[in-house]
Structure 1
Amino acid sequence: MRKTKIYKILSLLLLLSIVGGVIWYAQLSNRHKAIVKTTLLHKTGLVDNDWQVENIRKEYNMLSPTFIVDDIYKSMEGPKASNYVMLSQDSTLLWITGFKVVAQDAKTGEKMSNDFICHMNVDMNDSKYYSNFGLEDRIGKQYPRLTSLSHGMETFDFPKGYGVPMKGNDLLFVTTQTLNHNIKDAYYKVKHQVSITYQEDKNIKPLMSKTAFIMLPYDKYDPYKSPIDPGADFCIPVETKNHSYDDGSGNKLSGHWVIPIGKNTYRSDINHQLGIKDSLRLHAAAIHVHPFATRIMLFNKTTQKPVFVSEVINHKNSIGLTNIENYTSKEGIWLYENQEYEIVLEVNNTSKEEQDMMGSMFLFFYDEEMDLIVNSKFK
């Protein structure tokens, strides 16, 4: 076969591959397009793909790789990156006391709007973490997310005298993701500065993290059918692959759903997520909601009173969250095994189209069992 013919065949195959790739890419969701673009840009080195780490003065700082924000990216859709965190090189007992994430210009280092921050998740290896303290019976009981910061709550600190204990050479897994609700013709190079503050103080009281979130039922046979009552009946999930759960009886639930235009209230029982045995004292709560949420509360169904209420302030002239009220208390609030609890979320979709929503709480309780362990083995 002549070389010219071989070249023609190869050129045709290359052209077909490019056309096929373009068609495949065009059919992807915005979220998956961001994953493909970010991976390609980082793997080829077209943009900076390294994490920069600094660990001084009891504050662990990481500067993310560069993210190209070149489109509208709603919650959970934007470019993201992940990295492992080790607070020290040895097994010294340390106490995590706070978290922070800041958006900055990749070139100048100047602070940018929080509107470019979707969320920053901090996960732990619960098997290794609990084994370090002889608490193997806790392994696998819930999703091992320590906490999450998100648009509207970009910084979170525990009340003074409280923290999450961990051995310094244990690993945390941090994922940070970008956001852009409003700028259609965007082209920004963004980095996220992630900070974790910690102490070696031996007089801190330990906190345990429990994640609770709203899960709403949907029709597993026709998931995108409009529900009769979007606040109490069935929801429409954003998708059925992620944030989709089984209630143990074959019914499907979604933690990421679509809200219609106007006001609605959503509620979900969370006793099974809390797993309270006898009682627990709540000292802090970090909140995660999406734009158009207006209030979220942890509600005691038994007493018919809120445990705490978090007011959510939305931007006035654009889509976004100005502030999410957190909960912190040195005194704490008691929750009991024989009482029923739920998360109640109020929303007001003032846009002209359906929007997506989540309602999550990262709840921090005084950990009496852990306190006995660290006092006997590490002090």
Structure 2
Amino acid sequence: MLKRSKIYKFLAFSFILSSLFGVVIYTQLTNRHKAIIKTLLLHKTGLVDSDWHINSNQKEYRMLSPTFVIDGIYKSMEGPKASRYIQLNQSDSLVWITGFDVNAIDAKTNEILPNDFICHMNVDINDAQYYSHWKLENRIGKQYPRMTSLSHGLEHFDFPKGYGVPIIGSDYLFITTQTLNHNQPDIFKKVKHKVSVKYETYDKTQKPLMSKTVYIQLPFDKFDPFKGPLDPASNQCIPVETKNHTYCDKTGNLLSGHWVIPQGKKTYRSSITEQLQIKDSARLHFSAPHVHPFATSISLFDKTENKTVFTCDITNYKNKIGLKKIATFSSENGIWLYGKHEYELVMTCDNTSKADQDMMGSMFLFFYDKELDEKISGS
């Protein structure tokens, strides 16, 4: 039988060995996964505030995120993040979502910080619950259930007057907010995100919008995905990774929605006709783009008519890496898209840095939802 002292020595040795093994594994993780582990430990141990703070009224649902510790460079989709479910109210009444807002604040002073610390704020719906309520079960699973996303350069927007996304007040929305830091490697800063969902009561005059997500997908060599250099005239890309944002077309070719851009200017384009799923025609009223730094514009292009439907210009900071402003498309009258037309997303980039950078290009498109309008009005 082992003596107690030997048991303690064995336990101590096992602890040291497992700790060393954990450190080795941790050092091999990506920056994104390191951030997940650090944030989890900081929140679980209570070293930083891990609670969401809620303050809502009849026109706005406001949240203050847990504390995020920024301790180094975090590029797009790498920084500390937090998620939670929310209900705009506790009733079965119909409300109309009219806009969104996110700000970064200093966790100690409550001072509003630059948008440098905002990566994105996602709003997801439960599409099974949402469409079942309206008896539109044929829509379930047809689109990625993300209503929209705010991101670096587009930290707030409002839908055109008289339009919005209808939702039952007690239905759940899933909110995720994530931090960013492109420019300050030597930093230790505690940050929170202030998130707002704007809404109003239904007065029978508002028109419903339906969100559809479209994004650029570029082919890559599935046998050697990270090879280079690529033919400058090719639409092929080098993916950032092959585990996330990787898709497969009908012929078995692999496509990436998160790819590497070289230095200099380049244009990327991708068909979005299948993503749009337009049967006959649809009237578009709003678009919220999502791009990464060094993008300079993103356009919806009608390939059938060989013309640009609209372009959202993108302004980069000149003295640092980051997006100053991403323009949206917004129209009360709307513009028509047609089921028999072919459409593309076209994005221009100008990588003025001295290294390759990562890129994404997508749009959240909001169409007038005639079918849902008839369900709500009872006509």
TM-score band w.r.t. shorter chain: over 0.9
Unaligned runs of 5+ in 2: none
1:1-379 matches, cutoff 5 A: 1-200=2-201, 201-226=203-228, 228-229=230-231, 232-376=234-378
Range that drifts further, 130-139 or 217-226? 217-226
- How far residue 217 of structure 1 moved from its aligned partner, in angstroms, is 0.7
- How far residue 4 of structure 1 moved from its aligned partner, in angstroms, is 2.3
**Counterparts of 2:232 and 2:99, CA distance in 1:** 36
What are the Cα deviations for residues 102-149 of structure 1, in whole angstroms up to 9, with x where unaligned? 000111211111100000000001011000111111110010000000
Q: Does the Cα contact within 8 Å between 1:231 and 1:264 map onto a contact in 2?
A: no
Distance 1:153 1:304, change over 3 A: same
- How far residue 251 of structure 1 moved from its aligned partner, in angstroms, is 1.1
Q: What code does the residue aligned with 2:3 have?
A: R
Q: Does the Cα contact within 8 Å between 2:162 and 2:206 map onto a contact in 1?
A: yes
Q: What code does the residue aligned with 1:101 have?
A: V
- How far residue 231 of structure 1 moved from its aligned partner, in angstroms, is 6.4
Range that drifts further, 29-38 or 12-21? 12-21
Distance 1:218 1:230, change over 3 A: farther
Q: Does the Cα contact within 8 Å between 2:58 and 2:200 map onto a contact in 1?
A: no
Unaligned runs of 5+ in 1: none
What SS does structure 1 have at the residue aligned with 2:38?
A: helix
**Counterparts of 2:96 and 2:179, CA distance in 1:** 28
What SS does structure 2 have at the residue aligned with 1:202?
A: coil
- How far residue 230 of structure 1 moved from its aligned partner, in angstroms, is 5.5
**Counterparts of 2:43 and 2:339, CA distance in 1:** 48
- How far residue 34 of structure 1 moved from its aligned partner, in angstroms, is 0.2
Distance 1:35 1:111, change over 3 A: same
**Counterparts of 2:173 and 2:152, CA distance in 1:** 21
Question: Structure 2 length as normaliser, TM-score?
Answer: 0.98
Q: What code does the residue aligned with 1:14 have?
A: F
- How far residue 248 of structure 1 moved from its aligned partner, in angstroms, is 2.5
What are the Cα deviations for residues 30-67 of structure 1, in whole angstroms up to 9, with x where unaligned? 00000010011111111110101111141000110000
Q: What code does the residue aligned with 1:153 have?
A: L
- How far residue 336 of structure 1 moved from its aligned partner, in angstroms, is 0.5
**Counterparts of 2:250 and 2:233, CA distance in 1:** 22
Number of aligned residues: 377
**Counterparts of 1:85 and 1:5, CA distance in 2:** 52
Q: What code does the residue aligned with 1:350 have?
A: T
Q: What code does the residue aligned with 2:274 have?
A: H
Q: What code does the residue aligned with 1:347 have?
A: C
What SS does structure 2 have at the residue aligned with 1:266?
A: strand
Q: What code does the residue aligned with 1:138 have?
A: R
Q: Does the Cα contact within 8 Å between 2:235 and 2:268 map onto a contact in 1?
A: no
What are the Cα deviations for residues 137-183 of structure 1, in whole angstroms up to 9, with x where unaligned? 11100100000000000001100000001111111101000000000
**Counterparts of 2:6 and 2:230, CA distance in 1:** 63
What are the Cα deviations for residues 338-360 of structure 1, in whole angstroms up to 9, with x where unaligned? 11110000001011111000001
- How far residue 227 of structure 1 moved from its aligned partner, in angstroms, is 5.4
**Counterparts of 1:3 and 1:230, CA distance in 2:** 69
**Counterparts of 1:6 and 1:308, CA distance in 2:** 72
Q: Name the % identity.
A: 63
- How far residue 11 of structure 1 moved from its aligned partner, in angstroms, is 1.5
Q: What code does the residue aligned with 2:207 have?
A: K
**Counterparts of 2:35 and 2:72, CA distance in 1:** 9
